Amino acid sequence: MSYKTKLMQGNQAVAEGAIAAGVSFFGGYPITPSTEVAESLARELPAIGGKFIQMEDEIAGIGVIIGAALTGKKVMTATSGPGFSLKQELLGYACIAEIPLVIVNVQRVGPSTGQPTAPAQGDVMQARWGTHGDHPIIALTPGSVPECFDLTIKAYEFSEKYRTPVILLLDEIIGHMRERIDLPTSYDQIVKPQRKLPVVSPEEYRAYKPDADLIPPMAPFGTGYRWHVTGLVHDEYGFPDGTPAATQACLDRLHAKINNNLEDIVLYENYLMEDAEIAVLAYGGTARTAYASVDAAREKGIKVGLFRPITMWPFPEKQVKALASQVKHLIVAEMNFGQYVIEVERAVAGKIPVTLHAKYNSEAITPAELLIAIENISKQQ
């Protein structure tokens, strides 16, 4: 594979990643700071025979891609906080009906209209719990423009493999930053993720009968397999079944499908963690700050490292518990009032102190601010 170096925006890199992964359908609604994803795909999709539609509202934006996913397409929608809130019902529908799709949420200051053009990381808990009912979810957070490209392809790997919606949880810093990316000159050699197709005959096909890996093959509409999709709790045929046994079975498998595969799904990065005594935990745009603060702290002789979750959900339980055995203090830096820190504290279970460095006034945490926090913790040791 040959590459070309480009200066590219994070949102645009997401769009490129979608094309590279074989996405052929985008439906959505404009909302700052995600609109560039839609605009890029409005240009690029028809040029490769794909389809783009701007729908009448955010809910229609996810509705239309659910429809397209049912005909076998890889699909994407993109939004920010207010739109993400509107999409929750159908996100849950896609969870229980096991429909592969990717939702890009480029986080901005909230709640409500908040600040459309300023960054925040306030939708982290919503990404996990925004839709009602018990459901697992996969959410991935890139920390750079190249990672926007790579992680989008990864999002489709997970979405197609596990028959689940995946959230690409960016923040406005990553979405709108421009930096160097070495892009393949052709996407032909990139393996396109593909959901399992049925091997049995249409007569034998049961749309929600799982294989041993707990994932049912998914036949595209119009290919000879006629099946029923519903948001009601359903049996293996896909027909509504509200008995306690069917409800238990339906929900158990939905969770096991994800929770049995954490080794595959939970992605993270350790930076200068080998001999670290203090760890910073940061993600997305905040991680960019953290690299600089950690480097500066190291210059001052402080043994600090960065643990960067890339998979936000499922929560990197094992990895954070291991951190609590490795370092003496954990600093969670995030651009909200403290959301991910709640999970971190839960996993750490009091073994070591956890300090929250929160900033939510629409500005990024600066390397200097975070360095001071690291230094203060270091002095306490």
Partner 1 sequence: MEMEQIVDKYFRAGRLPHIWCPGCGNGIVTGAIVKAIDKLALEKDGVAVVSGIGCSSRASGYLDFNTVHSAHGRALPVATGIKLSEPRLKVIVVTGDGDATAIGGNHFIHAARRNIDITVILYNNNIYGMTGGQYSPLTPTHSKATTAPFGTVDRSFDVTELAKGAGATFVARATTYHTPTLIDVITQGIQHEGFSIIEAITACPISFGRQNKMGSAANMMKWQKDNGVMLGAYEKMTDEQKEGKFPIGILYKATAPEYTAEYDKVIARAQKGAK
By the criterion CB under 8 A, which residues form the site for partner 1? 24-25, 27, 43, 46-49, 51, 53, 55-57, 59-71, 73, 75, 89-90, 93, 221-224, 226-232, 239-240
Residue 371 DSSP SS3: helix
Instruction: Select 87 or 329, whichever has its Cβ closest to partner 1.
Output: 87
Q: Minimum distance from CB of 62 to partner 1 (Å)?
A: 8
Instruction: Select 60 or 371, whichever has its Cβ closest to partner 1.
Output: 60
Q: Minimum distance from CB of 378 to partner 1 (Å)?
A: 52
Q: Minimum distance from CB of 218 to partner 1 (Å)?
A: 12
Contact 268, 133 (CB under 8 A): no
Q: Minimum distance from CB of 156 to partner 1 (Å)?
A: 16
Instruction: Select 227 or 271, whichever has its Cβ closest to partner 1.
Output: 227
Contact 102, 155 (CB under 8 A): yes
Contact 340, 346 (CB under 8 A): no
Instruction: Select 132 or 379, whichever has its Cβ closest to partner 1.
Output: 132
Provide the terminal-to-terminal Cα distance of the chain, rounded to the nearest Å. Answer: 49
**What is the DSSP track for 323-348?**
HHHH-SEEEEEESSSSSHHHHHHHHH
Residue 33 DSSP SS3: coil
Q: Minimum distance from CB of 281 to partner 1 (Å)?
A: 36
Q: d(Cα 63, Cα 67) in Å, to the nearest integer? A: 7
Instruction: Select 104 or 324, whichever has its Cβ closest to partner 1.
Output: 104
Using N-to-C axis directions, what is the helix angle for 10-21 and 35-47, rounded to 10°? 40
Instruction: Select 26 or 283, whichever has its Cβ closest to partner 1.
Output: 26
Q: Minimum distance from CB of 161 to partner 1 (Å)?
A: 21
Give the β-pairing of 138-140 and 178-184. Answer: unpaired
Interior CA angle at 145 toward 364 and 175, to 5°? 50
